[in-house]
Structure 1
């Protein structure tokens, strides 16, 4: 084999460095420098194997003969004929005939391309960056005993030129793949969120329909029944004492039904706005609890909260309802404050109490999870935490400015 003069070698090394510049992916990079490398190390097949993130798989990028190594999806390093090099057990591999060399032929080795293309004489040197092996440079010839240790040294010099550039390409590719995966994940999550929001809105509409049906039919029937009982009492001279328990029970049922209807169809929210609906729910909940709690509603939104889309407004109202209900049922508080305000261009709602704090509460997990889910469906941020020294709880939901812009508020 004719060996190149030192000056000629230097020219080819400079040529390799020059040709690498501007290459943005592995295939184009290896093919751009293949001709210059062939002047230094003649070959029938040239490839660079890059170890993928995590070190379990590798991918081959070829020039010259196209083999199953380059056409194969990422393969296990453990099945590579040069796994010993990848694992750092040897500093190079040089063989006169890979077809019979036991180092390349072991159980499970992916050596078939060498047999298919009669790649006998082979050189393999590692690509290293800061002492870490990131891949390997491989040159193969169909002639046996074609390469010498001088070729190994030249291959090492070439590998030194390639390593940093290929390391940067690998980092860029991994970043691109991560960005693609992240974008795809966000698209799937957004599709799921919108689908769940559509389902929630459909359920809300059905809930309101049921509320209207209960109001128009069931409550009307109960009202007529109550009036008939009153007439029976007057006309049939039925004892009032006999009917009084029935009348009271019927009136209580009607009262409970009206509350169910209001929960299912928040008419105050639709007629009088968000702040009034929250205040109405807070008043009624505190009154019905019989606990004598102090209460306060602070609305600092300047009417902005009343211009939200109906689906968003209802979701925020349901979250606020749940937070108030949890505080009354579980906090053992003496005071509840609901604050509506603008923050960072968005809208925030805080429900605070001076009770026992989240750690001391019982059976609130489901309610908090429901609030989190409702917040996610409208792209709002939710938090629930105990105040300082676990004295009281603060439930917060924030609708970011970006969401308001989507609604063109």
Structure 2
């Protein structure tokens, strides 16, 4: 009983820790307060029981420190301060230290983290579905998870859902990541429960952004082909596709009727719901044109060193990183991500632990998703998305270090 209670307490604390760091409800200040509170509690009660040692995590910490130092140096040379950029890179460094220490002090194991991530992703999917059924909650939830001026925004994009995020692109990233995570779990455990979650995830990435729809479709085809490679497997894949089609048809036809009946302020059944705007108009042309052309407004030295400020007129994540910390800082950040990707791949190849395999495979694909989505919007080194990478990576690195020491 005591052991069960201890495991349940660890699950709850890990869930709380991951939820606040990934979704950042209300404010990053609240997340900082939660992390500080957890750190104080565990240092006070558990410091002598659980030491903190540095392994592969050290590389991540050093890179984070260098990027912050580089940001400060750029601002010093320019004799100017951009509070957004300064706050962003300071927050990342502090979050890196907190997550490193808390993963060790909480003793987050791959088994615990895998179970927690199943819940964390499901909460986002549940939020998207709730926002679809009750669109009147869209504005309130967007405000909670960090989007300002959401009232006017949802007047234009009333058919798109953010779930537990503050943007449509991030919402689609989370939904696609959830689908990938549940696919990997299904490949290992063959539990039909994960098939239902895959269907829900597929529905959710169609509700956020066109980029998410394209990525979701591509990764769905890849995982479906590698998962259902038998005759019975193809029958299951067909069942998933049909279930998704029925779910989407229900959204387009049955949901408006239900909503009209119960006065939920959704479009009535008589109004056409077929034409849905899933992104900004002219997004592709804009991203290949004006948003990319912003780089040509600065000289070569400025591009290499960075300007330490957030640019106007572009949403492209790589362009923003170059403005923030230059090509030098961007290369350092990408090196951190590539190193984590390679480590995840190596761990997945040599491990015999089921939970470690699932998390390492997920981490590798999650990093690829970040690389792709970062062209559409700033996701790399960004709030929530980067913290998820850190939590999974640090849990894996610590697990591998303990395994090596025991052998």
TM class by shorter chain equals under 0.3
Query: Which structure is richer in relative contact order (CA contacts within 8 A, separation 6 or more)?
Result: 2
What TM-score, normalized to structure 2? 0.22
Q: Please state which structure has a larger fraction of its residues in helix.
A: 2
Q: Please state which structure has a larger fraction of its residues in strand.
A: 1
